[in-house]
Structure 1
Amino acid sequence: MSVAIENFVKAIYKNGKRDNNDTKPGSIAKELGISNAAATDMAKKLATKDLLHYQKYQKLELTDKGTKMALNVVRKHRLWESLLFKMFDMSLHDIHREAELLEHQTSDLLANKISAYLGNPKFDPHGDPIPNEDGQITTTDTSIAMSQTSEGKTYIISRLMSDDKEFFDFCAQHGLKYGNTILISKQFTTNKMTQILINNNTIILNEDFTSIIYVNEHH
């Protein structure tokens, strides 16, 4: 399958998992940086290959076959991120960029070898779940956005939902890493800001950050 097709089904899968669940052709076009017309043409083409359901003005829905393909690409992407992070300690932004290229060139055989080498990890360095060989995600996501957390409670960072360089640089600088512990010291509900304590440092984050940093309650 072509890189364009793999990226298209992956974009539908990822957008479908976001809170707004927006998989309309226009939104997929925006995600991929292509024109709306190109996205509609691609959607029609993939509908004939039984990869998705296309109806004019409706959200795009992947078929089982399309979902399987998307999860296979996602698996390879997240395994490469895990490997590059482990071997070269590259930044989260850089591993994402490299994995975007490598995911399309990787056979299932190599993906399984990378997975075995890493001890079959369940999560990548961003905290995103890695689908298994059968294209299933076997972990349950109980995380919530930092914006939804309660004052005075301690949480563990579980996902950084972005691929923006500035965001990752900021996170790296302040120890906002997958698996690190934070205390929510204050929620400024009116101004949509959150004050946190991490590594004995107090930081105030606005909603741009607190809506894409996900956490689990620390028990």
Structure 2
Amino acid sequence: MSVAIENFVKAIYKNDIQDNNDTKPGNIAKKLGISNAAATDMAKKLATKDLLHYEKYQALQLTEKGTKMALNVVRKHRLWEALLFKMFDMSLHEIHREAELLEHETSDFLANKISEYLGNPKFDPHGDPIPNADGEITTEDISIALSQSKEGKTYIISRLMSDDKEFFDFCAQNGLKYGNTITITKQFSKNKMTQISINNNTILLNEDFTNIIYVNEI
């Protein structure tokens, strides 16, 4: 399949499963940086290939075949992120950028070799689950957004759901990374801000950040 097709089904999957965003062609177009007309044309094309269900004015839904393709691309992307992070200590933004290119040039054979080399990890450095070779996510997600955390509780950062460079730079500078421990010192519910303590430092975060940082309570 072409890069465009793989990116299209992956965008639908991520909007639907991860981001809980609308999967109408216009939203997929925005995510991919293409025109609405181009997204609609692609959706109609992929419907004929049994990769998705298309109905005018309705959200797009992947078929079983389309979901399997999306998960295969996601698996390769996240395995590359894990490998690049381990081998070169690249930033979270850098590994995402490079994985976007490498995922389309990776055979199933190489993906399995990378997974084996890494010890078959279940999560990438962002905390996102890595599908197995059968296209299954075997981990249970019990994390919550930082904005929903409770004052006085201690949590472990479980996921950083973004691809924005400035966000990752901020996280790196302040020790906000997958697996690190934070304590909620104050929830400013009216102003939608969260004050946390990490590594003996106090940080105040607005909801733009607290809605994309996910945590598990200790």
Range into which the TM-score falls when normalised by the shorter chain = over 0.9
Q: Report how far residue 2 of structure 1 moved.
A: 0.0
Q: Report how far residue 135 of structure 1 moved.
A: 0.1
The answer to whether 1:135 aligns with 2:144 is no
Amino acid in structure 2 at the alignment position of 1:190 = K
Residue 156 of structure 2 aligns to a residue whose secondary structure is strand
Residue 162 of structure 2 aligns to a residue whose secondary structure is coil
Q: Distance in 2 between matches of 1:186 and 1:207?
A: 14
Q: Report how far residue 21 of structure 1 moved.
A: 3.3
Amino acid in structure 2 at the alignment position of 1:168 = F
Deviations 1:70-91, CA, capped at 9 Å, x for gaps: 0000000000000000000000
Q: Distance in 1 between matches of 2:144 and 2:17?
A: 14
In structure 2, what is the equivalent of residue 178 of structure 1?
178
Q: Distance in 2 between matches of 1:200 and 1:17?
A: 36
Residue 159 of structure 2 aligns to a residue whose secondary structure is strand
In structure 2, what is the equivalent of residue 17 of structure 1?
17
Residue 71 of structure 2 aligns to a residue whose secondary structure is helix
In structure 2, what is the equivalent of residue 65 of structure 1?
65
Residue 182 of structure 2 aligns to a residue whose secondary structure is strand
In structure 1, what is the equivalent of residue 163 of structure 2?
163
In structure 2, what is the equivalent of residue 98 of structure 1?
98
Q: Distance in 1 between matches of 2:182 and 2:85?
A: 23
Aligned structure 1 segments of 4 or more residues deviating by more than 2 angstroms: 18-21
Residue 57 of structure 2 aligns to a residue whose secondary structure is coil
In structure 2, what is the equivalent of residue 151 of structure 1?
151
Residue 205 of structure 2 aligns to a residue whose secondary structure is strand
In structure 2, what is the equivalent of residue 5 of structure 1?
5
In structure 1, what is the equivalent of residue 120 of structure 2?
120
Residue 34 of structure 2 aligns to a residue whose secondary structure is coil
CA RMSD of aligned residues (A): 0.6
Residue 101 of structure 2 aligns to a residue whose secondary structure is helix
| Superposition TM-score, scaled by structure 2 size | 0.99
Q: Distance in 1 between matches of 2:20 and 2:74?
A: 20
Provide the aligned length of Structure 1 versus Structure 2.
218
Residue 116 of structure 1 aligns to a residue whose secondary structure is helix
Q: Distance in 1 between matches of 2:161 and 2:10?
A: 15
Q: Report how far residue 19 of structure 1 moved.
A: 4.7
Amino acid in structure 2 at the alignment position of 1:79 = L
Mapping of 1:194-209 within 5 angstroms?
194-209=194-209
| Superposition TM-score, scaled by structure 1 size | 0.99
Q: Report how far residue 17 of structure 1 moved.
A: 1.7
In structure 1, what is the equivalent of residue 56 of structure 2?
56
Q: Report how far residue 211 of structure 1 moved.
A: 0.2
Residue 172 of structure 2 aligns to a residue whose secondary structure is helix
